[in-house]
């Protein structure tokens, strides 16, 4: 998408993220999972921390949480969350600007890894996380399982509609590039048009496993969700736990 950069998603969605995506990633199950991996009082790094929807509850559970995001608009909302003032927030790139470790665990929640739009950057992300985890530390990756049968091309649908507001979803799927981009086009009676762009470079679990192995990780477990539902061929997303 021409003109799209690392800040576009966060800046475009910060004001609606908690409303629109409240059901993405089970908060309670995520907190329980990360406490189990890092231990009470453990040090956790969250990549693409956004509004702190996950980081703040993790901090409230006693974890020492550092979150990084390239969008200052997203980060500005962390302190609005209960316990958000306990999160150490860093504005920066989740490959090039990671703080020093060691961390007990690292989390990259639902599809956030795919916001890195280049395979080399995704590979580098595994490497820099490995360098900051203690021996035996865990990297938790939550992502979709791409549908190999999804057709190439564009799609337009209605996300939501009220008497004074319509939100359209416009997307362009390019399987050959492992790329899907889109816009949410928000039309309001009083506010005109608002565009909220997004773009991902997706990868199947086997490709992520190869990236992890190249960075010195081993796959410790894979589930269909944060609560630990069994992963099988019918799962449409996965939670993969890689151990250094």
Q: How far apart are CA 22 and CA 27, in angstroms?
A: 9
How large a percentage of the chain has pLDDT more than 90? 92
CATH class of 153-200: mainly beta
Mean pLDDT of the region 144-159: 95
Look up the pTM and report it: 0.95
Q: Using alpha carbons, select from 34, 27, 217 the residue that is nearest to residue 127.
A: 217
Q: What is the pLDDT of residues 43-90, one digit of tens each?
A: 999 999 999 999 999 999 999 999 999 999 999 999 999 999 999 999
Specify the pLDDT at position 23.
86
Specify the pLDDT at position 237.
96
3-class SS letters over 2-51: CCCCCCHHHHHHCCCHHHHCCCCCCHHHHHHHHHHHHCCCCEEEEECCCC
Q: Are 51 and 78 in contact (CB under 8 A)?
A: yes
Given CATH 3.40.50.150, say whether it is the number of domain 8-146+203-243. yes
Binned at pLDDT 50, 70 and 90, residue 190 comes out as confident
Mean pLDDT of the region 11-24: 92
At 15, phi and psi to the nearest 5?
Answer: -75, -15
List Cβ neighbours of 186 (8 Å cut-off, separation of 6 or more). Answer: 165, 166, 167, 193, 194, 195, 196
Specify the pLDDT at position 2.
74
* Domain range annotation of the chain: 8-146+203-243, 153-200
- Average pLDDT of the chain? 96
Mean pLDDT of the region 20-38: 95
């Amino acid at each position: 998408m021409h003109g799209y950069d690392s800040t576009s998603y966060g800046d475009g969605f910060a004001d609606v993220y908690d409303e629109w995506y409240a059901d993405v990633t089970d908060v309670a199950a995520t907190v329980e999972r990360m406490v189990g991996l890092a231990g009470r009082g453990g040090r956790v790094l969250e990549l693409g921390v956004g509004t702190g929807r996950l980081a703040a509850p993790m901090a409230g559970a006693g974890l020492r949480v550092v979150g990084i995001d390239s969008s200052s608009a997203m980060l500005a909302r962390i302190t609005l969350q209960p316990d958000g003032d306990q999160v150490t927030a860093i504005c920066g790139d989740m490959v090039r600007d990671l703080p020093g470790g060691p961390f007990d665990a690292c989390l990259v929640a639902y599809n956030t890894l795919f916001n890195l739009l280049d395979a080399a950057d995704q590979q580098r992300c595994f490497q820099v996380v490995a360098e900051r985890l203690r021996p035996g530390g865990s990297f938790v990756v939550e992502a979709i399982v791409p549908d190999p049968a999804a057709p190439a091309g564009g799609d337009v649908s209605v996300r939501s509609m009220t008497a004074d507001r319509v939100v359209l979803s416009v997307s362009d799927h390019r399987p050959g590039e492992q790329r899907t981009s889109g816009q949410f086009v928000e039309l309001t009676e009083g506010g005109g048009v608002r565009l909220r762009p997004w773009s991902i470079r997706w990868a199947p679990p086997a490709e992520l496993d190869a990236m992890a192995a190249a960075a010195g990780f081993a796959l410790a477990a894979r589930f269909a969700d944060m609560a630990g539902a069994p992963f099988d061929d019918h799962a449409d997303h996965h939670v993969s736990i890689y151990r250094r």
